[in-house]
Amino acid sequence: MSAVDLVRREESVKAKRGQRMKATDAFVECLLAEGVEVIFGYPGGAVLPIYDSLYEGKIRHILVRHEQGAAHMADGYARVTGKPGVCLATSGPGATNLVTGLASAWMDSIPVVAFTGNVARSAIGTDAFQEADITGITLPITKHNFLVRNAQDLPRIIKEAFHIASTGRPGPVLVDLPKDVSVEEIIFDYPETVDLPGYKPTIKGHIKQILEAARAIAAAKRPVLYIGGGVISSGAHEEVLALAEKANIPTTFTLMGIGGFPGDHPLSLGMLGMHGTVYANYAVHEADLLIAVGARFDDRVTGDLKRFAPHAKVIHIDIDPAEIGKNRHADIPIVGDCKAVLSVLVEKVREKREDEWLAKIAEWKREYPLTYEEKPGVISPQRVIQEIYEVTEGNAICTADVGQHQMWLAQYYIFREPRRHLSSGGLGAMGYGFPAAIGAAVGRPDLPVWSITGDGGFQMTSQELATVRKYNIPVKIAIINNSYLGMVRQWQELLYNRRYSASDLHDNPDFVKLAEAYGIPGMRVSRPEELRPALEQAAATEGPVLLDIHVDPEANVFPMIPAGMSVAEMIGKKGRLGT
């Protein structure tokens, strides 16, 4: 929002202060005051008063085809803009359909504000028609939630909801609005500030801890920077780069941290963890100092915690004190915002270069590059990602669904900037990728947006084809179609003696015809020579396009560290690698 728009917004709020209006009209004014430009939602009886107030068109409303899509779209919008995404659903099943999207946003610390309708206050707890205790249901998967019992409290609650969602460690917040509350009249008074005595996130890190971290970096012979999604949410990517370059520290990132460090930088190790690069995992295994920034040592990164980074002293920087020491002991804990802490740490760290360590990593990179097999006449899925990278010149926003293609995107598309890679990391929600791409395209219409999805995950939210057609949202959909639940099949191949139980999708629909039924151009790509022309045609086409790309059905994601194992059990395409 520009400075001019900000001034106009403040003037509008001041002009309306003290006016009597319907609670739902106040709802709209509150959202305008927060700079909300778009809502992703689906109407129903309990929210009809809100939709009546939205009819004036002061805020753009995107009509989704399933409430799960609304939550994922709000998530995608938030990830690319850095502003809270907003979604709206009716009571009962409408509200419960948001749960998967809210859980995904919760796991990945994404600022989403969800509004739900509820039955009248007098009917709450009576098992009324379309009643669900959505505040109770979402208590474990929201940063906070509210049940509005007094209409006059609505402006304050909305102000607090946006503040909580977007400050400290970001996360989803839900506001539940009973129908009888929404039709009451109130005196409009939108607060200018928020006063939450029990909620005071620590921003600045303790200087003594920062100085100790600087000394540890100076003493380390084999340091590794390990960054997560907190780097992106705090906007600390420039500080991470400055620290890495000043002290010549090899840098690896989690799935959520992709884009927090340039993927083509000489110090980049790529992603670590279960399907991370061999050299990233080897570097962490051999490190004597691990500098964790905005990361939470999740199991897909660490595998067997007892054998993760066994030689390393740990510096852990995170705004959420609950994360520090939760999974891995921190020798030097620093609670604070990543950007604020790193800006000081960069000043305190001295320039250094450990040539022997850098040479060892360069040797691992030469010996264990990311590679894949290409069969004659068959499209390799990894090639699809590389071709999309080349066609978009690495300048697209790419969303992933969940499974093999998610890992191939992380491995083979080189992200140089933050907020360009979107993936349901913690929850691993199938159906995330396509609606998240819609939200991203709405939030950043200046950038091309590609939804990289699988034939399994796409079918969970494919009805949002109607949404992209209705609003002509120019998402390019690339279905990596291997006629399997690919990652399930891979695990069944490697760990269950090829017993492919319930993972075969050879009865998939004709995705091209499905797209055409929605009025969207579709192309089927079956041969390697068809791939590049189809991608180029899709990129040059205005509006949405669907590509059904048939790939090698038995292609696997390597490297792979089986769940709960360590680097010692890492598998390459030719078998166990070890350390």
Residue 12 pLDDT greater than 80, yes or no = no
Output the pLDDT for position 578. 63
State the pTM of this model: 0.97
11 by Cβ neighbours in 10 Å (0-12 / 13-18 / 19+) ranks as: exposed
H or E, element range at 282: helix 278-286
Residue 186 pLDDT greater than 90, yes or no = yes
H or E, element range at 484: none
In angstroms, the CA 446 to CA 507 distance is: 38
In angstroms, the CA 482 to CA 478 distance is: 12
Query: In this structure, which amino acid lies at residue 240?
Result: V
pLDDT one-digit tens code per residue, 314-345:
999 999 999 999 999 999 999 999 999 999 99
Question: Where do the H-state alpha helices sit in 17-153?
Answer: 23-33, 48-54, 67-81, 93-96, 99-108, 134-137
Can you tell me the mean pLDDT for 265-270? 98
| pLDDT-derived band at 2, boundaries 50, 70, 90 | low
In angstroms, the CA 243 to CA 293 distance is: 11
Mean model confidence pLDDT for the chain: 96
Can you tell me the mean pLDDT for 160-189? 97
Sheet strands (E) in 152-215: 173-178, 185-187
| pLDDT-derived band at 15, boundaries 50, 70, 90 | confident
In eight-state DSSP terms, residue 548 is: E
Give me the sign of the Cα torsion angle 468, 472, 475, 479. positive
Q: What angle do CA 136, 140, 145 make, to 5 degrees?
A: 60
> 3-class SS at 341?
helix
Closest CA to 493 of 504, 480, 508: 504
In angstroms, the CA 572 to CA 429 distance is: 26
- Per the DSSP assignment, residues forming a β-bridge with 174 are 114, 145
Output the pLDDT for position 13. 79
Q: Return the HEC string of 455-466.
A: CCHHHHCHHHHH
Output the pLDDT for position 567. 95
Domain 3-187 has CATH 2.60.40.2380: no
DSSP 384-429: HHHHHHHHHTT-SEEEE-SSHHHHHHHHHS---STTSEE---SS--
Residue 4 pLDDT greater than 60, yes or no = no
Residue 6 pLDDT greater than 80, yes or no = no
- Give yes or no for a cis peptide into 559 (omega within 30° of 0): yes
- Phi first, then psi, for residue 452 (nearest 5°) are -95, 115
Matching CATH topology for 207-367 and 381-557? Answer: yes
- Phi first, then psi, for residue 541 (nearest 5°) are -85, 130
Within a 13 Å sphere around the CA of 70, how many CA atoms are in the beta-carbon half? 28
| Nearby residues of 318 by Cβ (< 8 Å), 6 or more positions away | 169, 230, 292, 293, 294, 295, 296, 324, 334, 335, 338
Closest CA to 387 of 263, 538, 532: 532
Output the pLDDT for position 8. 66
| Nearby residues of 409 by Cβ (< 8 Å), 6 or more positions away | 385, 398, 400, 421, 423, 452
In angstroms, the CA 510 to CA 246 distance is: 53
Query: In this structure, which amino acid lies at residue 394?
Result: G
**Segment among 12-26, 357-371, 383-397 with least mean pLDDT:** 12-26
In angstroms, the CA 141 to CA 331 distance is: 30
Catalogue the active-site residues.
Answer: 67, 129-130, 179, 487
Provide the residue ranges of all domains of the chain, joining segments of one domain with +. 3-187, 207-367, 381-557
Residue 304 pLDDT greater than 60, yes or no = yes
Task: Report residue 92 as tokens.
Answer: 């009962």
Output the pLDDT for position 11. 74
Residue 363 pLDDT greater than 80, yes or no = yes
pLDDT one-digit tens code per residue, 527-578:
999 999 999 999 999 999 999 999 999 999 999 999 999 999 999 987 778 6
In angstroms, the CA 52 to CA 340 distance is: 43
Query: What's the topology of domain 207-367?
Result: Rossmann fold (3.40.50)
Closest CA to 275 of 571, 489, 564: 571
- Phi first, then psi, for residue 133 (nearest 5°) are -80, 75
Query: What's the topology of domain 381-557?
Result: Rossmann fold (3.40.50)
> 3-class SS at 477?
strand
Percent of the chain at pLDDT exceeding 90: 96
Query: In this structure, which amino acid lies at residue 166?
Result: S
Can you tell me the mean pLDDT for 123-142? 97
